[in-house]
Amino acid sequence: MRVAVFGGDGFVGWPTCLHLSNAGHDVTIVDNLSRRRIDTELGVQSLTPMDSIQERLRIWKQVSGKTIRFELLDIATEYTRVKLWLDEFRPDALVHLAQQRAAPYSMKSDRLKTYTVNNNTNATHNLLSALVELGLDTHFIHLGTMGVYGYSDIGATIPEGYLTVNVRLDDGQEVSRKILYPADPGSVYHMTKCMDQIMFAFYANNDQIRATDLHQGIVWGTHTDQTRRHEQLVNRFDYDGDYGTVLNRFLIQAAIKHPLTVHGTGGQTRAFIHIQDSVRCIELALNNPPARGERPKIFNQMTEVFRIRDLAKLVSELSGVEIVYLPNPRKEASENDMKVANQQFLDLGLEPITLQVGMLEELVHVAGKYAHRIDASKIPAQSGWTADLQSRISTIVDFNPAQRKV
Amino acid sequence: MRVAVFGGDGFVGWPTCLHLSNAGHDVTIVDNLSRRRIDTELGVQSLTPMDSIQERLRIWKQVSGKTIRFELLDIATEYTRVKLWLDEFRPDALVHLAQQRAAPYSMKSDRLKTYTVNNNTNATHNLLSALVELGLDTHFIHLGTMGVYGYSDIGATIPEGYLTVNVRLDDGQEVSRKILYPADPGSVYHMTKCMDQIMFAFYANNDQIRATDLHQGIVWGTHTDQTRRHEQLVNRFDYDGDYGTVLNRFLIQAAIKHPLTVHGTGGQTRAFIHIQDSVRCIELALNNPPARGERPKIFNQMTEVFRIRDLAKLVSELSGVEIVYLPNPRKEASENDMKVANQQFLDLGLEPITLQVGMLEELVHVAGKYAHRIDASKIPAQSGWTADLQSRISTIVDFNPAQRKV
C-alpha cells in the first residue's frame, strides 16, 4: 500500500515508518520536524542519540534496501501544499501523528495552549478537507488517546470508543443508543483529541471518509525489531518533565540511582502499551479499515493498566532505588480504578509485551547504556495545570536531582 | 456591567450591543469586520442599507446619549493583542459572537471549510486562554446553535444541553448520568460549535471559567426596539443563498412575487426565534451567570418550531405567492420532527414574539420597503454539502429568478 505517515519523524512515527516499510508498504514521511524544534526550545534532547531524518533514512536504505521518502511540510499551516502533495502521492492510507502530543507541554503557558489547539485542530481538519476536495478514498488512521475518556472511575469498563446508553423517550419508553463515549479531557492536549473525534464523526457521515481512531495508552519501550537493526535507527527516548512519560522518568532515575519521584499518592491508574505493540496495532488497523459509510472505527490501543505507584515499585524492585512522593502538578483524581476493553486488537492477533517482562531490557539496555547522557535537571515536572498548581511546582523543583550533584 | 461584545458588528451582535447599551451596560464592540469582507467577497449586500460601524456608533451616541466603543481586532489570529486588550478592559462579561456563522458558506469550498474551522476554533480558544492567563473571572457568554443536537428525531424532547442517560456498570447495575448531549453536527459550521462545547467543558472544569452557551435556533426579524430608533441604526438583512436564512429568502421572494423555493419536501423541522427575543435572551443570560466551578450553563435560545413547508405556507398566505419545490443541496433527513425544551428562558420571563404575529411586519416594512434593492440572482442556494449534491445545484440555479427578468 502507499502509506503517508504524517509526523513520521516522532516517537511513534519513526518506528511505525520502519515497521510498515519493512512489511513492504511504500512509505512517505510528511513532517515539519516540530518535535526537534521543541527539543531545542526546551533545551532538552533524546536520551538516545538521534540523527537527522535524512541520515536515518539513508541508514534505513542501507540496512533494508528499502526507500522511505521525506517531505518537509507543515500540514497545520500549509493547506495548499498539503492538498497538492496528497493529489500527487494519492495514498491508500495515511497515519496522522502530526500533532503536539504532550499534555504537560500543552499546559505550560498560554502560548503553548493556543499553539496546541491551533496546530492539532488544523492539522486534522486540513487533512480531512483535502481528502474530500480531492475525492480520495484514503483510509485515515489517527492516533487518539485514552485521555479522551477521562480518568473518573464510573465502575464500568471503558469500551472501545462507543458507549451504549439508555435514553427515556417522551412516551416513557427507554431506547438503547450507541453514542461516542462522553469526552472528558484532562488537559488542552487531550481536549484537542476530543475535538478530533467530532471531526472524524462529521466527515465519516457527510463524506464517507473511512476513519480509524486509535486511543492509545502511555507508550513505553524504545526498541522495535526494526530500530534494533542499526544503532543509528534508534528511536527517541524522552525523559524531560514535559515529554518524558512517567515510566521513562522512573527508568532514568533508576539509572542514576536517584529516588523515583511519584506525584501525589501514585494512585492514578493509567493504560500502557509497548512501542513494538503500538506499531503492530497501527499495522493491524491499516489492514482492517472500516467500510465506506461506516462510522469511525475506534480501538483502545493499550495492553495493560497499572497504578503509578505499582509501576514505581516494579522499577524499584528491579533497580533497588527507593520511591519518594511529591505534590501533583496535575488537576486529577488522586486515586482511580480503570478497566479498559481492548478485545478488538487481541482478536486481530496482538500478543502484548508486558511491563513485567520488558522493563528490564529498558533499564539495562537503554537507560543504563546511555546514562552518561542524562541531564538530571530536566527530569522534574515543570508545568502546573493551573496557576495554583503551578505554585506547587517550586516544591518539586526544590527536589531537583541536579542539586544532588549526581 | 462592563461588557465586551466580540462580533458586535454582525447580525445578532449589533442589536445586542444597542440593547445592552440602552440597558445601562458599558459596551465595547470588538470585531474584525469579517462579515462585511465576506459580503464583498460574495458580491452581496444587506437588503437594508448598512452604514460603517463608526457611523452607526456616532448615530447611537446622538440618539441615546450613550457611548459604545469599537476595537478593530481579529481574535482568531491576534492572540497577544486580544490578551492586552482584555487586560486593559477587564470585562465583567463577554458575549462571543465572533465566528463564521453560515452553514452553507462553511460548505462552499475547502478554502471556506478550513477558514471556518481555523477561525471559529481559535476565536473561542484564544478568549478562553487569555481569561485564564489574566486570571479574569469574566462571564463567558457564547452563541451556540441548535444544530449541535442534530436533526434526527429520536422521539424525545431535546433538553437544554445535557442529556440524562442510564449506563450499565460491570456489576450489572444501571446508573444515571447527565452528559453533554451527543454532538451530531450537520455542517462544518455546526461542527465547530460542537468543538466549542468541549472547550467550555474543559475550561469550566480546569479553570472555573463561568461559561454560558446559548444554542440558538434560526433567527428571524430585523428590527428591535433600539434599531428602530433611527434609520441608520437598522440591522442587516441577509437574503443570499449562503447567509440568508430560509425565512428571509421566502420574504424576499414574496416581495418580488417570485415563487417561494422550498428545498426537498420542506419536511425539515427547525427552531426559530425573533431577533428581539434573541437579544433579550442574551441579556437574561448576562444577568444569570453560572457560579464559579459550575459546569457550563446551556440554554436553548429558541421559541417556536416550524416545518419549512409550513413556514412557506404562512408566507404564501400572507403574500399570495405560490410555493415550488427544488432539490435539496444539504445532506439531511427529508422529514424530521423536533420538540425542544426552552423552559429556562421562559422561567426567566421571556415572552416570545411569534412568527404568526411578527411575520407581516417583516413582509411589509422590511422586504416590501427595500424591494428595490433586491438582487434576485443572489437568492438561490449555491453550496452543496458534497460534490454529489453540488451537482444538483445546477438544477436550482437553472431556476434562477434573475432569469425571469424580475
Q: Does A170 touch chain B (CB under 8 A)?
A: yes
Question: For B124-131, what is the mean pLDDT?
Answer: 98
Is-contact B160 B116, C-beta < 8 A? no
pLDDT digits (tens, 9 = 90+) for A123-168: 999 999 999 999 999 999 999 999 999 977 678 999 999 999 999 9
CA of A181 to nearest chain B CA: how many angstroms apart? Answer: 9
pLDDT at A392: 72
- For residue B34, the Cα-to-chain-centroid distance in whole angstroms is 15
Q: Which of A33-47, A167-181, A278-292, A352-366 has the lowest mean pLDDT?
A: A352-366
**Is there a contact between B154 and A164 if contact means CB atoms under 8 Å apart?**
no
Q: Which residue among B114, B166, B170 sits closest to A129, beta carbon to beta carbon?
A: B114
Question: For B253-260, what is the mean pLDDT?
Answer: 92
Cβ neighbourhood burial of A51 (10 Å; 0-12, 13-18, 19+): middle
Is-contact B380 B241, C-beta < 8 A? yes
pLDDT at B105 over 60: yes
- For residue A106, the Cα-to-chain-centroid distance in whole angstroms is 14
User: Mutate which of A121, A132, A180, A196 to disrupt the B interface (most B C-beta within 10 Å)?
Assistant: A121
Q: Does B273 touch chain A (CB under 8 A)?
A: no
**Is there a contact between B156 and A163 if contact means CB atoms under 8 Å apart?**
no
Residue of A nearest to B201 (CA): A184
Alpha helices in A246-304 (DSSP H): 246-255, 275-287
pLDDT at B379: 87
Question: For B118-135, what is the mean pLDDT?
Answer: 98
Show the beta-strand stretches assigned E in B91-147. 93-96, 139-145
Q: Which of A237-246, A393-402, B275-284 has the lowest mean pLDDT?
A: A393-402
Q: Which of chain A's residues have a Cβ under 8 Å away from the Cβ of B339?
A: 170
pLDDT level of residue A330 (50, 70, 90 thresholds): confident
**Is there a contact between A135 and B387 if contact means CB atoms under 8 Å apart?**
yes
User: Mutate which of B78, B110, B339, B389 to disrupt the A interface (most A C-beta within 10 Å)?
Assistant: B110
Pick left, alpha or beta for residue B310 (phi over 0 → left; psi -120 to 50 → alpha; otherwise beta). alpha
If one counts every other C-beta atom within 10 angstroms of the C-beta of residue B321, the result is: 18
Query: Which ipTM was obtained for this model?
Result: 0.95
Q: Which of chain A's residues have a Cβ under 8 Å away from the Cβ of B202?
A: 185, 188, 191
Q: Does A291 touch chain B (CB under 8 A)?
A: no
Q: Does B291 touch chain A (CB under 8 A)?
A: no
Residues comprising chain A, all counted? 406
Q: Does A166 touch chain B (CB under 8 A)?
A: yes
pLDDT at B364: 87
Output DSSP code: residue B352. P
Q: Which residue among A79, A155, A185 sits closest to B169, beta carbon to beta carbon?
A: A155
pLDDT at A24: 98
Q: Does B330 touch chain A (CB under 8 A)?
A: no
CA angle A79, B244, B185 (to 5 degrees): 55
Q: Which residue among A118, A167, A385 sits closest to B206, beta carbon to beta carbon?
A: A385
Q: Which of chain A's residues have a Cβ under 8 Å away from the Cβ of B175?
A: 154-155
Tell which A residues from 228 to 247 touch B, by Cβ distance under 8 Å: none
pLDDT at A400: 45
Q: Residue A356's closest CA among A319, A324, A315, A322?
A: A315
Find the catalytic residue in A115, A149, A189, A243. A189
Q: Does A125 touch chain B (CB under 8 A)?
A: yes
> Which distant-in-sequence residues (6+ apart) come within 8 Å of A155 by Cβ?
B169, B170, B171, B173, B175
Mean pLDDT of chain B: 93
pLDDT at B330: 86
